[in-house]
Amino acid sequence: MGRIYGAALVAAGHRVTAFDPYAQTLPEGVELRESAEAAVADVDVVLTLTAASVSRSVAETVVGTLRAGAVYADCTSSSPGDKRALAEVFKDRDDLRPADVAILGPVVQLGTETPLMSAGPGAESVAAVMTTVGSPVEIVDGALGDAMAHKFLRSVFMKGLASVVIEAVVAGRKAGLEEWVRGQIAGVLAGDGQAVIDRFLTGTGKHAERRMYEMRATSTYLAGLGAPSEMTDATATALERMTTEHHVHSGAQQD
């Protein structure tokens, strides 16, 4: 990701310095420096594209080196809570503009066209820079962590949807019904999205008990096909919880 963004920023006319302890070569025009501190010492915007596990330690390493007015954009996949905790790192540097950046897609595939979301004091400055390389940036009105909160909520749907689609298609393939299953999925995805959401919200809890037994039976069927059933099993567990909640709620209404 650093190579992709670095090359694009140079091509857009920006001066780019970098630090990566594992880099052997860099894109033409990107200046490799001997340390993280040296890489950020004289820049206007810092893009941190590291593993989430070192997000805070990197910020702590460079916070004393950043010049007044600099934007520090944490682009890692750290949790919203960890992003919010970065405010502690910058609490004695009110002359800096930290930003939380969420990357909403695979940069290796989409390049700089990958959508971004940004929050925090430096969000608008991040958008101003990244739009020069063709990155669509949505600014979230909020503090550090709010961009990642949006991404995580989106991931519940996107990652879950991808997993359940894969499970259904694989099962359909093993049953000799892949094209039919694909058609069923495509029909739902092509419909009125808001109407589908409302139908799920109103109908799932109401019919949770019946659907729970159906999904348990479906899991047994998938086992017979030799197909994975993690998402089916998880759905059955969720429906079991909803069954209990619905009964409790109905009982409270009757009382």
The confidence score (pLDDT) of residue 25 equals 82
Can you give the pLDDT at residue 21? 87
Residue 251 has pLDDT above 60, yes or no: no
| Domain edges within the chain | 2-144, 151-254
**Residue 31: closest CA among 2, 54, 61:** 2
Helices (H), the chain: 2-11, 36-40, 55-62, 80-89, 107-110, 123-130, 146-174, 178-189, 193-206, 208-225, 230-254
The model's pTM: 0.83
Evaluated on CA atoms 193, 196, 201, 205, the torsion sign reads negative
pLDDT of residue 88: 96
Cα of 230 vs its chain's centroid, Å: 22
pLDDT(118) > 90: yes
Question: pLDDT tens across 218-246, in order?
Answer: 999 999 999 999 999 999 999 999 998 86
Let me know: does 26 contact 33? Beta carbons within 8 Å. no
Q: Quick one: pLDDT band at residue 250, thresholds 50, 70, 90?
A: low
What digits encode the pLDDT tens for the residues 21-53? Answer: 888 788 999 999 999 999 999 999 999 999 999
Within 10 A of 97 (CB to CB), how many other CB atoms are there? 22
Q: Which fold has domain 2-144?
A: Rossmann fold (3.40.50)
The per-residue pLDDT for range 126-148, each reduced to its tens digit, is 999 999 999 999 999 999 999 99
What residues are paired with 100 via a beta bridge?
A: 74, 119
Burial environment of residue 209 by CB neighbours within 10 A (0 to 12, 13 to 18, 19 or more): middle
Task: State the chain's mean pLDDT as an integer.
Answer: 93
Say how far residue 240 (Cα) sits from the centre of its chain.
28
Quick one: CA dihedral 237, 239, 243, 249, positive or negative? positive
Q: Stretch 85-110: mean pLDDT, rounded?
A: 96
Neighbouring residues of 228: CB distance < 8 A, sequence distance ≥ 6: 167, 170, 222
**Quick check: 71 pLDDT over 80?**
yes
By the 10 Å C-beta count (0-12 exposed, 13-18 middle, 19+ buried), 156 is classed as exposed
The percent of residues in the chain predicted with pLDDT above 90, rounded, is 91
Collapsing DSSP states into helix, strand and coil, what is residue 208? helix
Q: What is the pLDDT of residue 67?
A: 96
Whether the Cβ atoms of residue 95 and residue 67 lie closer than 8 Å to each other = no
Return the bridge partners of 97, or none.
Answer: 71
What number of other Cβ atoms are within 10 A of residue 89's Cβ? 21
Q: What is the pLDDT of residue 239?
A: 95
Confidence of residue 254 (pLDDT cuts 50, 70, 90): low
Considering the chain, what percentage of its residues have pLDDT values greater than 70? 96
pLDDT of res. 156: 94
Q: Mind listing the pLDDT tens digit for each residue in 163-197? A: 999 999 999 999 999 999 999 999 999 988 999 99
Q: In this structure, what token pair is assigned to residue 242?
A: 């909803």
> 145: alpha, beta or left, given left = phi > 0 and alpha = psi -120 to 50?
left
- The answer to whether 76 touches 102, Cβ cutoff 8 Å, is no
